[in-house]
């Protein structure tokens, strides 16, 4: 057996290297914005929320709104360090806001077909099978209701079972606008834009260097860069790739013949749920979606929606989603992720089983 046989090739390590650069660069820009006082302006709307519970819900909603518009990795690299810095400045528990952002990203990622959970892959495969583009309204018919259910379940669990509802002391600081602050805002916008352009991502490093110069970021601040997150993310990506190859080789997944029955839906979701926490979303999609689309079921959209929502249950382990890795790198323990993620995943499973059982004749191509 060679490294290549486990999928550990040059392309993988090249992607890993560029994602590490993006992670470091975006965090450097956020630290630069903090140094010039710009982060206070950017996060000022959150100061209207006076309790830790309302703060967590506000960050959760923000993450849900943006989760369907970009990849989980990029969004986590932007919002999680921002939330952690915000919490530390206000003597809040940074892990709570870290969790709020992470759960928002995971819960809302299927709102649009180009969201963070590799939904663009699934959208492409379904469109190819239908021989026509899968429009936004058709995607909405498939995904909006179960995704709203996921957000409601996750948000309520976060508010009432995860966050300690404490009244926060008023945060006051005098920050004046400056040319350096304006420059930092412009550099952050440029950096975020470049992360969306795959061929231009290398220039993010240059933008981060300029950000450090403009803000006069001290060397001591650079020690707070997410090196722990990078180690976790790199190791989890490699381990996830190895697990992906092993599962594809030794696990033969088939669509249950009774998939329309209550028991069949339960079996499908349960099996995919177990696999989803050991594989990346893209590996899971490429393994199961072709089987879904090649199956003999008459309603491919219904089964595709069932599969996609089953893919989204990776709340438990660090390497099931790139956002999980970033969150753990910023202080969330794997044990806490498992403890909080398990009840959320089980409640979502129950909601999906009921929803898809009662909508099995509604979704048609």
CB 102 within 8 A of CB 332: yes
> Which pLDDT value is given to residue 181?
86
> Can you name the residues that pair with 167 across neighbouring β-strands?
51
> Per the domain annotation, does 207 fall within a domain?
no
> Which pLDDT value is given to residue 365?
45
> Per the domain annotation, does 78 fall within a domain?
yes
CB 314 within 8 A of CB 106: yes
Tell the residue number behind the tokens 């795959």, with chain if given.
198
> Per the domain annotation, does 136 fall within a domain?
yes
> Which pLDDT value is given to residue 364?
46
User: Residue 203 burial by CB count (10 A; 0-12/13-18/19+): exposed, middle or buried?
Assistant: middle
The residue range of the domain holding 316 is 38-174+226-358
> Which pLDDT value is given to residue 88?
85
> Per the domain annotation, does 52 fall within a domain?
yes
pTM over 0.95: no
Q: How many CA atoms lie within 13 A of 79 on its CB side?
A: 29
* 225 backbone dihedrals φ, ψ, rounded to 5°: -60, 155
> Which pLDDT value is given to residue 241?
64
* CA distances from residue 364 to 144, 161, 172, 338, 347 in whole angstroms, order as listed: 15, 38, 55, 36, 26
* CA distances from residue 126 to 29, 45, 253, 292 in whole angstroms, order as listed: 38, 40, 19, 10
Q: What is the C-alpha separation between 168 and 346, in angstroms, rounded?
A: 32
- Number of structural domains (the chain) is 1
> Which pLDDT value is given to residue 258?
80
> Per the domain annotation, does 335 fall within a domain?
yes
> Per the domain annotation, does 294 fall within a domain?
yes
> Which pLDDT value is given to residue 85?
85
At 221, list the tokens.
């601040």
* H or E element at residue 331: none
> Per the domain annotation, does 326 fall within a domain?
yes
Q: Residue 122's closest CA among 348, 261, 312? A: 312
* CA distances from residue 106 to 24, 66, 73, 117 in whole angstroms, order as listed: 22, 11, 11, 8
pLDDT per 10-residue tile (average), the chain, 365 residues = 58 70 80 82 84 93 86 84 86 91 93 70 81 84 94 95 81 68 87 73 85 86 72 66 64 72 92 82 78 81 92 85 84 90 96 92 52
> Which pLDDT value is given to residue 20?
75
CB 236 within 8 A of CB 325: yes
Tell the residue number behind the tokens 């999928």, with chain if given.
7
> Per the domain annotation, does 59 fall within a domain?
yes
């Amino acid at each position: 057996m060679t490294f290549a046989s486990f999928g550990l090739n040059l392309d993988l390590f090249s992607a890993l290297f560029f994602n590490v650069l993006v992670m470091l660069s975006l965090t450097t820009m956020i630290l630069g914005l903090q140094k010039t006082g710009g982060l206070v302006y950017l996060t000022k709307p959150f100061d209207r929320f006076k309790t830790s519970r309302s703060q967590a819900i506000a960050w959760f909603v923000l993450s849900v709104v943006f989760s369907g518009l970009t990849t989980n990795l990029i969004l986590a690299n932007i919002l999680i360090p921002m939330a952690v810095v915000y919490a530390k400045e206000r003597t809040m528990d940074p892990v709570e806001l870290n969790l709020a952002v992470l759960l928002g990203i995971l819960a809302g990622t299927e709102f649009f077909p180009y969201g963070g959970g590799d939904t663009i892959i699934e959208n492409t495969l379904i469109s190819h099978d239908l021989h026509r583009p899968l429009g936004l309204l058709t995607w909405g018919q498939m995904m909006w209701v179960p995704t709203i259910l996921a957000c409601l379940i996750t948000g309520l669990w976060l508010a009432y079972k995860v966050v300690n509802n404490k009244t926060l002391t008023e945060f006051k600081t005098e920050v004046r606008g400056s040319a350096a602050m304006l420059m930092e805002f412009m550099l952050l916008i440029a950096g975020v834009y470049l992360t969306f352009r795959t061929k231009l991502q290398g220039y993010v490093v240059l933008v981060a260097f300029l950000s450090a110069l403009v803000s006069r970021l001290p060397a001591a601040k650079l020690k707070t860069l997410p090196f722990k997150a990078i180690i976790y993310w790199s190791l989890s990506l490699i381990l996830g790739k190895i697990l992906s190859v092993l599962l594809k080789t030794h696990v033969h997944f088939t669509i249950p013949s009774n998939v329309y029955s209550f028991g069949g839906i339960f079996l499908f979701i349960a099996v995919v749920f177990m696999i989803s926490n050991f594989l990346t979303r893209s590996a899971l999609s490429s393994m199961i979606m072709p089987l879904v689309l090649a199956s003999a079921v008459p309603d491919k959209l219904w089964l595709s929606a069932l599969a996609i929502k089953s893919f989204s249950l990776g709340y438990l382990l660090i390497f099931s989603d790139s956002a999980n890795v970033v969150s753990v790198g910023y202080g969330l323990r794997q044990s806490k992720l498992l403890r909080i993620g398990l009840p959320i995943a089980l409640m979502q499973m129950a909601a999906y089983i009921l929803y898809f059982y009662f909508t099995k004749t509604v979704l048609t191509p």
